[in-house]
Amino acid sequence: MIALTIAQLADAVGGRIVLRGGDSVDTVVSGAVDTDSRLIEQGGVFVAKRGEETDGHLFVDAAVAAGAALAIVEHEVDTDAAAGLTQVVVADAVDALADLARAVVAQVRASGDLRVVGITGSNGKTTTKNLLAHILAATGETVSPKASFNNEVGAPLTMLRVTDTTRFLVSEFGASAPGEIARLAGLVEPDIAVVLMVGMAHAGGFGGIEATFHAKSELVRAARPGGLAVLNADDPRVAAMAPIALERGLTVRWFGRGAAAAVRADEVEVTASGTSFVITVDGVSAPMRLRVLGEHHVMNALAAVAAATALGVSLDDAIVRLEQVEIAERWRMQPLGSDRVRIINDAYNASPDSMAAALRTLAQIVGPDERSVAVLGAMSELGEYAEDEHDRVGLLAVRLGVQRIVVVGADARRMYLEAVAQGSWDGEAVFFATADEAYEYLLGELRDGDRVLVKSSNSAGLRFLGDRLGESFS
């Protein structure tokens, strides 16, 4: 975090100062901010957040032991360990975290050359964030989220990592309910708003696809007037955000596969080692080979290039940087195993759209003497749409000709039943209640030439099954 006096910090969060340990209101704090006491470093600021299962106030002593210089709390903590720790008392620690992020970003913006990019979409946020951050890092100091820090805690924590010399802040905005993106993006008013797609991810929380559209469009509405909206020309719902952008005073920059997009891809060729295509930006074309596996990541790369070139990065430099990226993130189309048995671990998140994209990639990369194997788990947060969407995945796996379909977990069983109903009745589709059972089966079933996709939502836990398979067949 940038250097702030205790008085400035308390003013930003609307808190009451409890001075201890010889501090004064003019004492400066500048350490990293975190809600996890295990991650606090010397001079850090600990935010005692209440959670569903625990209370951050119970860990103030641990934060002190780790070297915390100050704690933001909802009530004073009077333990012996905390006796020398200055505290700022607030009504709500999560709200205070957001208020502090807003103030810090505003101060850096006012005194420097900070540009903020916000990214949202039903799928692809983390990959696009990582690709864009990798491009921009060669131009100037860039801050972007760790993993998928895109919620009411993760997004402000990322914002608080900016310094007086930060050139670019890339923020990822996720949501499970309406209004969340508006609140988070409103903290920073992005100069560039990137919307990737509107799909069925989190549809249960939003209440359907149209509600998802309105939620994702909140990022465009939150963008800084005079800024830029980078929109997916191939997604009709994203394209429908253009009038919102224009009303907001934004310029629209289109990306996609169609000829009308300012940033587009042609001649796309998918292999087991990556995806080649010709990228065109504002009429200038060049070849690109993306090492990140999966045709669907072409759109993420286009979005990243659209934002980066709008920020002054040349197309040639963007291509060089993107071609260096081997994986988007752990557990996202991550190649494991060996050339003999290749495991593709994509089990960090799953939605109907990303599940379909991953299955299509599996079908595309299997050679004539190789076998496709899909290890599938449940997709979460679909609410009333869950049964139909799991049915569709089972149907798609059969229609794509996946040769072995291994379904894991009771919540995913409908994929198996639909695969059997569609003709995978002679052992092509199998079901296991647990990942351990599936692992034992796959150890005996997999053979040379197999290409194995492991795909599920995070909650299904199949990412660990993918890791185990990768190690076993390395």
Q: Which parts are annotated binding residues for ATP? A: 121-127
Long-range contacts of 307-311 (CB under 8 A, 24+ apart): 307/117, 307/132, 307/192, 307/194, 307/228, 307/230, 308/132, 308/135, 308/136, 309/263, 309/281, 309/282, 310/192, 310/228, 310/230, 310/253, 311/115, 311/117, 311/136, 311/139, 311/168, 311/192
Strands 341-346 and 334-337: antiparallel
For the chain, what's the residue count?
474
- CA-to-CA separations, 100 to 112, 158, 163, 169, in angstroms, rounded: 18, 12, 14, 16
What is the 3-state secondary structure of 23-54? Answer: CCCCCEECCCEECCHHHCCCCCEEECCECCCC
Q: Which residues are annotated as a binding site?
A: 121-127
**CB-facing half-sphere around the CA of 67: CA atoms within 13 A:** 11
Whether the CB-CB separation of 61 and 121 falls below 8 Å is answered with no
The CA R_g of the chain, rounded to the nearest whole Å, is 24
- Within 8 A by CB and 6+ apart from 122, the residues are 196, 197, 198, 199, 200, 201, 202, 212, 216, 351, 353
What does 348-367 look like in DSSP terms, one character per residue?
A: S---HHHHHHHHHHHHHH--
The number of beta carbons lying within 10 Å of the beta carbon of residue 42 is 10
Closest CA to 345 of 204, 165, 472, 469: 469
User: Dihedral of the CA atoms 158, 159, 164, 170 (nearest 10)?
Assistant: 80
Strands 115-120 and 168-172: parallel
Whether the CB-CB separation of 19 and 7 falls below 8 Å is answered with no
Whether the CB-CB separation of 114 and 224 falls below 8 Å is answered with no
Q: Which residues of 280-296 are buried (b: 16+ CB within 10 A; e: fewer)?
A: bbeeeeeebebbbbbbb
The separation between the first and the last C-alpha atoms of the chain, rounded to the nearest angstrom, is 41
